[in-house]
């Protein structure tokens, strides 16, 4: 039994077999197998060799390799892959050492390469590169099969990896993937966000995890305490099963809130919405009793697939969500990526400071065809439900006006071709920078609604990178400066009579819910699994006491004092957590 | 009846030694014959039909090698390989055949 | 594409005669028409369409700039006129400030991509303080033309 400690980024407990996802970009760690798995691993190696040979054959035929030296290289690789003694060396290694196919391939090839590297002769030592190439090819086939397996899971697993890319997580089937554990990542990493959205436990930043997990390991992921247990003994397993039961009961209790309206004890209705990234999550929003989608992040369309999404790609995703939400409001946020993340652009600038650079709405306004494509799809989808559009990272009036001008131009284009859309589609903006927060009054005259993105607002206001472990403790929604800005935005929105929601993490943190209600917020949007808990808080408080709390907070001048006060207040409502 | 055996000693003249392309050529030629063929230098041995073993041998041992074939076409095998070495591994005009190994 | 590819150099007015929004629009469309940039389009119709569009939503972007635009048949390339007013014109701008520079754009209706390209270039330049300032400081047609030729 091995224990590893990391950062808990999504609560819950999962106990399942590990599905280990190696990456050919990282060193394959030595990983043991049981004697009973020998035959299986050897078979995998044979298959990988056969696949690699077939692949090389196809490439050779397809590209009609004629040039001498390239032909020679292919000949070398092919000869190696067909060399029975080579194959035997790898399978013997598995037999004797009881290690995984990936490790055996890697170990043997590296051993061979090292013989070459030792030779003085530069020509031979350079051939080591050919050996590494063969290693890569074989690993790709071995790992590729694993990737396929993930897409066709038929039993419950927890995913264990060095790191997970958005493209990988997009294919995870919630029914079978019960949790994640990665060596890299932090609270704001993609892994964390996806896990929270799907409501499955996850622990990241686990040092040295990959070398002690095997494909047959049972793994416990404790997303509450940030602990991962590999091959637990009976006692530990029992203990965790009991934890898991208690947690499930708690969740069921919360699920019971699904159909109960979110109304405070003194009768004030609060709208609870979900933040989503993938169409499937829309279902989770409804399951958890959400009344709509307060933030539909559209970035995955750009990250998954490797080419810029077409208008139909966008439309397909939006219409799917609209269908699932069946008339409940959906707020679609336009692309919020940095220039460096947009696929297939060669013309993006080298930026010393991309976070403060050409990203999000700024990028869109300098790449109108890309922006227009998304806007067209959103407008087309606006006939399918209560669809609204929201522009991120607005910092000036000018930006807002330009964005709206383009939206208008797109509407005119659609008119040209008789394509229907909702001409009254509400257009809102995210308030997530100090400049927009300070000029919210003016922006409110040209926006239909605001959504406060507290994550970025806190970062920009306090000039703190929450992912930087040296300063991340400074990042806090309880900082007086942040609360001051939020208060000011709420005031401006109310004065202009426009809708306001809070869609950052603050909206789902129990300590802050009462405060936000007391400051005047009536709409909160959060990761869907967190909706029941927030609803419980809403149903347990009166606006009167929230107002009192907010007034008290306004008199305090340190985030610590404020945090303590809020924690006490929340503790009285949700004793289980505290 | 015991199988025929043939053996020769060769010196690789190739400036670059038995590098990968020549090694592959060597293996291709060796693979055409049914005999079991070993190449050795002192106590280090390699199967002439395994590119892995041949390149490791060459890497370790340099240029003086003994070729030994055991089987019905042993003398033909040894002759062919000897000729290849003597002619200093002339590049072929058609793609090296990736034949199945025995 | 650069800004100088879009602007019609014979449709530059350093001091608009009109003191009101509709007049400015009329003046600039008139110039484009005279310069032969509007093909067979009836300038009156264009003027009415632009004014109607302005009534629905102002193109006064703020910082003293307005960007009235329309799509029309019968032209193949986007074309823009530049007009300046030292008094300032009320375009019912977002920031409630008067407009000192009007860039009027007419784009080919059947080529929305070219229109977008033109808009991108206009935005790119209008977002720069330097460009706006130079444009405002230029006194004559030639000086304005130079600012435009130097622009990206």
Interface of B with A in 19-78 (CB under 8 A): 19-21, 24, 27-28, 47, 50-53, 55-56, 58-60
Q: Taking the domain B5-86, which CATH number applies? A: 3.30.1340.10
Within 8 A of B98 by CB-CB distance, chain A residues are 75, 78-79, 82
φ/ψ of A547, rounded to 5, equals -60, -40
pLDDT of amino acid B98:
41
Compute the distance between CA of residue C145 and CA of residue C7 in angstroms, rounded to an integer: 9
Half-sphere exposure of A546 (CA within 13 A, CB side): 26
Residues found in chain C: 152
Q: What percent of chain A has pLDDT over 90?
A: 50
Contacts 24+ apart (CB under 8 A), C127-135: C127/A398, C132/C63, C132/C64, C132/C65, C132/C101, C135/C82, C135/C84, C135/C101
Closest CB to B20 among A86, A89, A127? A127
Range with the lowest mean pLDDT among A363-367, A373-377, A378-382? A363-367
Q: Mind listing the pLDDT tens digit for each residue in A236-287?
A: 999 999 888 887 887 777 778 888 999 999 999 999 999 998 887 888 899 8
Can you read off the two tokens belonging to residue A452?
């406060």
Q: Are B101 and A83 in contact, with CB atoms under 8 Å apart? A: yes
DSSP A359: B
- What is the DSSP code string of A163-181? ---HHHHTT--TTTEEEEE
Q: Say which residue the tokens 């041998």 belong to.
A: B57
Q: Mind listing the pLDDT tens digit for each residue in A115-161?
A: 777 766 666 666 777 788 888 888 888 887 777 777 778 889 999 98
User: Kindly report the CA angle at A242 between A240 and A243, in degrees rounded to 5?
Assistant: 65
Q: Considering B14, B19, B45, B50, which one is annotated as catalytic?
A: B19
Q: Is the pLDDT of residue A509 over 60?
A: yes
Can you read off the two tokens belonging to residue A441?
């009054």
Within 8 A of A395 by CB-CB distance, chain C residues are none
Query: Terminal CA-to-CA distance of chain B, rounded, Å?
Result: 22
Touching chains, B (3+ CB pairs < 8 A): A
State pTM to two decimals. 0.68
Can you read off the two tokens belonging to residue C83?
């007009």
Closest CB to A365 among C67, C69, C123? C123
DSSP count for chain C of H helices, then E strands: 6, 6
pLDDT of amino acid A45:
92
Strands A13-21, A218-222: pairing kind: antiparallel
Can you read off the two tokens belonging to residue A317?
């995703």
In angstroms, what CA-CA distances link A139 with A276, A491, B7?
35, 58, 40
Range with the lowest mean pLDDT among A348-362, A374-388, C22-36? A348-362
Q: Are B96 and A80 in contact, with CB atoms under 8 Å apart? A: no
Compute the distance between CA of residue B21 and CA of residue B18 in angstroms, rounded to an integer: 8
Q: Considering A141, A190, A314, A364, which one is annotated as catalytic?
A: A190
**Which residue of C62, C78, C97 to mutate against A (max A Cβ within 10 Å)?**
C62
Closest CB to A85 among B17, B53, B96? B53
Burial state string for A319-337 with b = 16 or more CB within 10 A and e = fewer than 16: bbbbebbeebbbbbbbbbb
Compute the distance between CA of residue A142 and CA of residue A102 in angstroms, rounded to an integer: 7
Q: Is the pLDDT of residue A26 over 70?
A: no
Nearest-CA residue of chain A relative to C62?
A398
Q: Mind listing the pLDDT tens digit for each residue in A443-462?
A: 999 999 999 999 999 999 99
What mean pLDDT is predicted for residues A17-32? 77
Q: Are A273 and A290 in contact, with CB atoms under 8 Å apart? A: yes
The SS3 of residue B1 is coil
State the pLDDT confidence band at C122, using cuts at 50, 70 and 90: very high
Closest CA of chain A from C1, distance in Å: 13
Within 8 A of B17 by CB-CB distance, chain A residues are 121, 123-124
Interface of C with A in 57-116 (CB under 8 A): 57, 59-63, 67, 69, 71, 94-95, 109, 112-113, 115-116
Q: Are A270 and A523 in contact, with CB atoms under 8 Å apart? A: yes
Within 8 A of A369 by CB-CB distance, chain C residues are 113, 116
Q: Is B41 a catalytic residue?
A: no
State the pLDDT confidence band at B62, using cuts at 50, 70 and 90: low
pLDDT of amino acid A246:
83
* Beta carbons of A398 and C61 less than 8 Å apart: yes
**Which residue of A347, A376, A402 to mutate against C (max C Cβ within 10 Å)?**
A402
**Which residue of A311, A347, A394, A401 to mutate against C (max C Cβ within 10 Å)?**
A401
* Residue A91 neighbours by CB under 8 Å, 6+ apart: A42, A45, A46, A104
Q: Is the pLDDT of residue A385 over 80?
A: yes
| Domains located in chain A, CATH noted | 2-230 (1.10.274.10), 260-571 (3.20.20.60)
* Residue B1 neighbours by CB under 8 Å, 6+ apart: none
- The number of beta carbons lying within 10 Å of the beta carbon of residue A304 is 18
* Beta carbons of B19 and A127 less than 8 Å apart: yes
The residues pairing with C12 across neighbouring beta strands, listed in sequence order, are C82
The gap from C-alpha A460 to its chain's centroid, in whole angstroms, comes to 21
Per-domain residue ranges for chain B? 5-86
Within 8 A of A115 by CB-CB distance, chain B residues are 56, 59-60
| Domains located in chain C, CATH noted | 3-150 (3.40.930.10)
Compute the distance between CA of residue A134 and CA of residue A131 in angstroms, rounded to an integer: 5
- What is the DSSP code string of A77-123? HHHHHH-HHHHHHHHHHHHHH-B-HHHHHHHHHHHHHHHHHHSS-HH
From the list A176, A135, A172, the residue with the least C-alpha distance to A155 is: A176
Closest CA of chain B from A57, distance in Å: 10
Compute the distance between CA of residue B25 and CA of residue B19 in angstroms, rounded to an integer: 10
Q: What percent of chain A has pLDDT over 70?
A: 92
Compute the distance between CA of residue A349 and CA of residue A292 in angstroms, rounded to an integer: 38
Q: Are A112 and A76 in contact, with CB atoms under 8 Å apart? A: no
Compute the distance between CA of residue A394 and CA of residue A450 in angstroms, rounded to an integer: 11
Can you read off the two tokens belonging to residue A172?
């995870």
Within 8 A of B50 by CB-CB distance, chain A residues are 83-86
The residues pairing with A338 across neighbouring beta strands, listed in sequence order, are A359
Q: Say which residue the tokens 């060799």 belong to.
A: A49
From the list C20, C19, C21, C46, the residue with the least C-alpha distance to C31 is: C46
Q: Mind listing the pLDDT tens digit for each residue in B81-97?
A: 988 888 877 776 544 44
Region of A393 on the Ramachandran plot (φ > 0 left; ψ -120 to 50 alpha; else beta)? left
Q: Is the pLDDT of residue B61 over 70?
A: no
From the list A146, A144, A141, the residue with the least C-alpha distance to A159 is: A146
Within 8 A of A398 by CB-CB distance, chain C residues are 61-63, 127
Touching chains, A (3+ CB pairs < 8 A): B, C
Interface of A with B in 106-145 (CB under 8 A): 112, 115-116, 118-119, 121, 123-124, 127, 130
User: Kindly report the CA angle at C145 between C140 and C150, in degrees rounded to 5?
Assistant: 130
What mean pLDDT is predicted for residues C34-45? 89
In angstroms, what CA-CA distances link A62 with A55, A66, A71?
10, 11, 13
pLDDT of amino acid B100:
41
Compute the distance between CA of residue A200 and CA of residue A12 in angstroms, rounded to an integer: 7
Mean pLDDT of chain A: 87
Q: Considering C33, C69, C87, C115, which one is annotated as catalytic?
A: C69
pLDDT of amino acid B14:
61
φ/ψ of A401, rounded to 5, equals -65, -40
Within 8 A of A130 by CB-CB distance, chain B residues are 20
**Which residue of A74, A79, A80 to mutate against B (max B Cβ within 10 Å)?**
A79
Q: Is the pLDDT of residue C114 over 70?
A: yes
Compute the distance between CA of residue C105 and CA of residue A332 in angstroms, rounded to an integer: 30
- The number of beta carbons lying within 10 Å of the beta carbon of residue A469 is 11
Nearest-CA residue of chain C relative to A415?
C109
Nearest-CA residue of chain B relative to A119?
B59
Where does residue A252 rank: exposed (0-12), middle (13-18), buried (19+ CB within 10 A)?
Answer: exposed
Closest CA of chain A from B40, distance in Å: 16
- The number of beta carbons lying within 10 Å of the beta carbon of residue B7 is 14
Closest CA of chain A from C14, distance in Å: 24
Compute the distance between CA of residue A110 and CA of residue A102 in angstroms, rounded to an integer: 12
Q: Which residue has the higher pLDDT, A120 or A477?
A: A477
Give the DSSP H or E segment for A183. Answer: none
From the list A82, A164, A482, the residue with the least C-alpha distance to B96 is: A82
- The number of beta carbons lying within 10 Å of the beta carbon of residue C90 is 14
Burial state string for A503-526 with b = 16 or more CB within 10 A and e = fewer than 16: bbbbbbbbbbbbbbbbbbbbbbbb
């Amino acid at each position: 039994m091995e224990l590893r400690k990391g950062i808990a980024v999504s609560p819950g407990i999962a106990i399942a077999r590990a599905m280990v996802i190696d990456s050919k970009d990282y060193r394959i760690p030595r990983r043991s197998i049981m004697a009973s798995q020998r035959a299986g691993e050897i078979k995998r190696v044979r298959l990988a060799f056969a696949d690699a040979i077939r692949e090389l054959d196809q490439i050779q035929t397809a590209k009609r390799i004629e040039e001498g030296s390239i032909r020679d290289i292919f000949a070398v690789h092919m000869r190696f892959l067909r060399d029975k003694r080579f194959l035997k060396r790898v399978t013997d290694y598995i037999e004797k050492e009881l290690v995984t196919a990936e490790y055996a391939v890697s170990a043997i090839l590296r051993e061979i390469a090292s013989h070459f590297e030792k030779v003085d002769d530069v020509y031979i030592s350079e051939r080591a590169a050919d050996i590494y190439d063969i290693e890569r090819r074989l690993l790709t086939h071995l790992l590729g099969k694993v990737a396929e397996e993930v897409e066709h899971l038929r039993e419950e697993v927890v995913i264990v990896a060095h790191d997970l890319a958005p493209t990988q997580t997009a294919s995870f089937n919630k029914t079978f993937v019960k949790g994640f554990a990665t060596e890299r990542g932090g609270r704001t990493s993609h892994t964390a966000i996806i896990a929270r959205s799907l409501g499955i436990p996850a622990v990241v930043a686990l040092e040295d995890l990959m070398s002690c997990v095997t494909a047959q390991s049972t793994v416990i992921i404790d997303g509450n305490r940030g602990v991962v247990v590999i091959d637990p003994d009976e006692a530990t397993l029992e203990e965790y099963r009991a934890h898991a039961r208690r947690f499930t009961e708690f969740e069921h209790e919360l699920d019971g809130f699904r159909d109960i309206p979110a109304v405070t004890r003194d009768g004030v209705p609060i709208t609870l919405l979900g933040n989503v990234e993938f169409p499937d999550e829309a279902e989770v929003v409804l399951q958890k009793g959400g009344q709509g989608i307060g933030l539909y992040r559209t970035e995955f369309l750009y990250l998954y697939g490797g080419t810029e999404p077409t208008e139909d790609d966008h439309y397909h995703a939006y219409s799917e969500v609209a269908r699932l939400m069946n008339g409940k409001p959906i707020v679609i946020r336009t692309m919020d990526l940095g220039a460096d993340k947009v696929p297939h652009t060669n013309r993006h600038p080298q930026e010393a400071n991309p976070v403060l650079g050409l990203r999000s709405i700024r990028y869109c306004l300098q790449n109108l065809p890309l922006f227009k494509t998304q806007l067209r799809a959103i407008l087309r989808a606006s006939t399918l439900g209560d669809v609204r559009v929201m522009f991120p990272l607005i910092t000036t009036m000018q930006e807002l006006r330009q964005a709206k001008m383009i939206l208008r131009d797109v509407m005119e284009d659609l008119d040209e071709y008789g394509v229907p859309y909702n001409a009254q589609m509400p257009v809102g903006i995210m308030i997530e920078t100090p400049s927009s927060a300070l000029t919210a009054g003016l922006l409110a005259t040209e926006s239909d609604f605001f959504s406060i993105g507290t994550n970025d607002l806190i970062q920009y206001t306090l000039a703190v990178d929450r992912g930087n472990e040296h300063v991340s403790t400074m990042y806090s929604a309880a900082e007086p400066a942040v609360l001051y800005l939020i208060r000011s935005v709420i005031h401006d929105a109310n004065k202009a009579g426009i809708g306001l929601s809070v869609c950052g993490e603050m909206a789902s943190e129990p300590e802050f819910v009462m405060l936000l209600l007391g400051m005047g917020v009536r709409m909160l949007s959060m990761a869907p699994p967190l909706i029941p808990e927030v609803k419980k808080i809403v149903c347990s408080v009166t606006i009167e006491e929230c107002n009192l709390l907010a007034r008290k907070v306004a008199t305090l001048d340190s985030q610590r004092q404020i945090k303590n006060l809020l924690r006490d207040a929340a503790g009285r409502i949700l004793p289980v957590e505290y | 009846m015991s199988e025929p055996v043939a053996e020769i000693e060769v010196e690789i003249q190739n400036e670059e030694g038995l590098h990968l392309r020549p090694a592959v050529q060597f293996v291709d030629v060796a693979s055409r014959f049914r005999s079991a063929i070993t190449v050795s230098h002192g106590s280090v041995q390699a199967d002439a039909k395994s590119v892995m073993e041949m390149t490791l041998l060459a890497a370790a041992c340099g240029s003086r090698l003994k070729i030994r074939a055991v089987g019905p076409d042993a003398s033909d095998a040894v002759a062919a390989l000897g000729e290849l070495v003597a002619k200093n591994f002339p590049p072929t005009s058609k793609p090296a055949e990736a034949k199945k190994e025995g | 594409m650069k800004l100088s590819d879009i602007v019609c150099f014979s449709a530059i007015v350093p001091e608009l005669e009109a003191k009101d929004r509709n007049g400015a629009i009329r003046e600039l469309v008139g110039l484009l028409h005279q310069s032969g940039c509007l093909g067979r389009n009836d300038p009156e119709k264009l003027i009415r369409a632009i004014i109607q569009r302005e009534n629905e939503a102002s193109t006064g972007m703020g910082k003293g700039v307005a960007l009235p635009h329309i799509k029309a048949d019968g032209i193949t390339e986007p074309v823009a006129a530049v007009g300046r007013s030292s008094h300032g014109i009320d375009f019912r701008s977002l920031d409630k400030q008067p407009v000192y520079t009007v860039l009027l754009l007419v784009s080919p209706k059947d080529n929305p991509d070219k229109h977008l390209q033109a808009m991108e270039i206009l935005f790119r330049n209008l977002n720069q303080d330097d460009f706006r300032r130079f444009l405002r400081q230029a006194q004559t047609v030639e000086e304005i033309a130079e600012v435009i030729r130097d622009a990206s």
